[in-house]
Structure 1
Amino acid sequence: MVESIALTGVTGELGSRVSRLLEQSGVPQRLVARAPERVPRVENCSVVRASYSDATALREAFRGVDTVLFVSAHEEPDRLWLHRTLIDAAAEAGVRRMVYTSFMGAAPHATFPFAREHSATEQAVMASGMRLTALRNSMYADVVPHFVGAGGVIRGPAGMGRAAWVARRDVARLAARVLLDDDHADRIYDVSGPEPLDLRETARLLSEVTGREITYHAEDEQEARDSRAGARQWQIDAWVGSYLAIATGETSVTSHTVERVTGVRPWSFDEFLRAEPDSWRHLLA
């Protein structure tokens, strides 16, 4: 049984869910946040102010902690530097194991640029001497409504590729379980929903649940890049790369990780849409 856990990302949707689930275990939590006033209110916890860029504050935040939930930083150009700063601080503080929210298909030559960064982060954790549990999450079902643009159209160069959308709720259940058990150390888990869907099927399910006509238009890569003209180059590369990763099949892996570890099958995309409408309907307003 893990004796002490520190959580990062606790002001976000995933980290806050994990914290509330861990509250039921009775294991002390140390909540590490840039904005402590925004952390969830849970029992048996302490709150420490630290940002991913502040190595000194992170070392103090992690001192005396066995295991850290490392929720990856927001997508930005210096994200890998932020990750390495946190990893170094945790290792110097004596953390034994890190549970990291990685990405499906993380690899040095992955199509999606941020999947390459996730791979580099995994390698940095292992090189630090800490034990790694990597949760290579598929694309979140929760963010799919963001894909719907003007006129109810999902546009992108995904072809007929598929993604096994996974709900944050199921990733949180899995993370809470693996944080509590060192038997999950030195493991890399693919984490997905139960079925891979192409974007036409995804649009159809959104249409059925919302009552709106939502369709998918498959762009070619140049068309997609032109449609994002004006954005910064790294943003264009990331946005286009995420759709190309779907097209290549890198996001289509369907795993049994969630059910095998937690004992409960993850939601399908349709089940997520119907179970948590308040979490996404505003995105389509």
Structure 2
Amino acid sequence: MAFVVTTGATGKLGGRVAARLAAAGVEQRLVSRDAGRAPRLPGASAVSADYGDPEAVRRALDGAGTVLFVSAAESADRLDRHRAFVDAARAAGVSHLVYVSFFGAAPDATFTLARDHWATEQHIRAGGVPFTFLRDNLYADFLPGMAGEDGVIRGPAGRGRVAAVAQDDIADAAVAVLLDPAAHAGATYDLTGPQALTLEEVATVLTAATGRRHVYHEETLDEAYASRQVHGAPGWQVEAWVSTYLAIAAGELDGVSDAVPALTGHPATSLAELFGG
């Protein structure tokens, strides 16, 4: 059996997957921009390749069977880099791509970066390589980071709900697919937590779980843009930040899926369980 390639192994999600595959005795190649930062794992080798360098990616994927394709870091040219990676994977003869996409990916998604995920999915489909798409909801692990130093979560999310999913659950689901890719060929899985919560409810759960007071403050659209301008981020990134909340308000991150328990054999982790132990 050809080895598995795990991209993003220096990150939180890819690192989790790589560790699980190593524990299962799977031979894998860890691909990242800096191989020196890759985790030292049994049965794993590490190579450097940037998604935007098709020749380096092709060499890194040469001989691989299944590839976990973790989306690139957010950037203005991320879609171009994704397309370059997919083309290089096809040229390398990869037999299956498992792409980490986003919940509700669509050409008209409110969350601007979900549109890039949809376009990446379409490029994978057009390339002819067998695939599986893992459409993750917002990472539950990152929800505390939406609060400011004062514990206030600010944004124009209204009373919309988000079915945030724990990264450990995503990693377990990804490993289940990577260990038996043929059984999941052509499938798209919406990975969510067990509940869809408003940001007010998220704040309540975080307060109880962490002991630090969290509250939700609903911003107007003008307030949302103004409060984020202080970070000096480029326009596309500010738009992405604000549109995350607008997607919640529009109901596009609502809805609980059974994909996590179906793939992993265990219940999805609730927000209270994730931070309360």
Scaled to the shorter chain, the TM-score interval is over 0.9
Aligned to 1:185: 185
Give the corresponding residue for 2:129. 130
Contact 1:148 1:154 in 2 (8 A): yes
Match of 2:70 in 1: 71
Q: Does 1:58 align with 2:57?
A: yes
CA distance in 2, matches of 1:55, 1:150: 41
Given the superposition, is the C-alpha separation of residues 49 and 204 from structure 1 closer, same or farther in structure 2, using an over 3 Å criterion?
A: same
1:143 maps to amino acid: F
Whole-angstrom CA distance in 2 between matches of 1:210 and 1:13: 21
Runs of 4+, deviation exceeding 6 Å: none
Partner residue, 2:250: 248
Distance 1:42 1:118 in 2: 30
CA apart distance, 1:25: 2.4
Q: Which residue of 1 aligns with 2:264?
A: 262
Note the 1:27-106 alignment, pairs <5 A.
Answer: 27-106=26-105
Unmatched tracts of structure 1, length 5 or more: 276-285
1:280 is aligned to none
**CA offset digits 1:205-255 (Å, max 9, x no partner):** 111122222110011212111212243211111011000011111111210
Q: 2: CA distance between counterparts of 1:148 and 1:48?
A: 36
**Alignment-mate amino acid for residue 85 of structure 1:** A
Task: Answer yes or no: is 1:212 the counterpart of 2:212.
Answer: yes
- Is the 8 Å Cα contact of residues 3 and 27 (structure 1) preserved in structure 2? no
Tell me the TM-score normalised to structure 1 length.
0.94
1:109-188 matches, within 5 Å, as 109-181=108-180, 182-188=182-188
1:109-158, Cα deviation, whole Å (9 max, x unpaired): 00000000000000111111111100000000111111111421110000
The two structures, once aligned, show a CA RMSD in angstroms of: 1.1
Question: What's the % identity of the aligned pairs?
Answer: 50
2-structure distance, mates of 1:28, 1:226: 49
Deviation at 1:3, TM superposition (A): 3.5
| Deviation, structure 1 residue 47 | 1.4
TM-score by length of 2: 0.96
Structure 2 unaligned residues grouped into runs of 5+: none
Tell me which amino acid in the other structure corresponds to 2:53.
D
The answer on whether the counterparts of 2:210 and 2:276 sit within 8 Å (CA) in structure 1 is no
Q: In the alignment, is the contact (CA less than 8 A) between 2:210 and 2:275 conserved in 1?
A: no
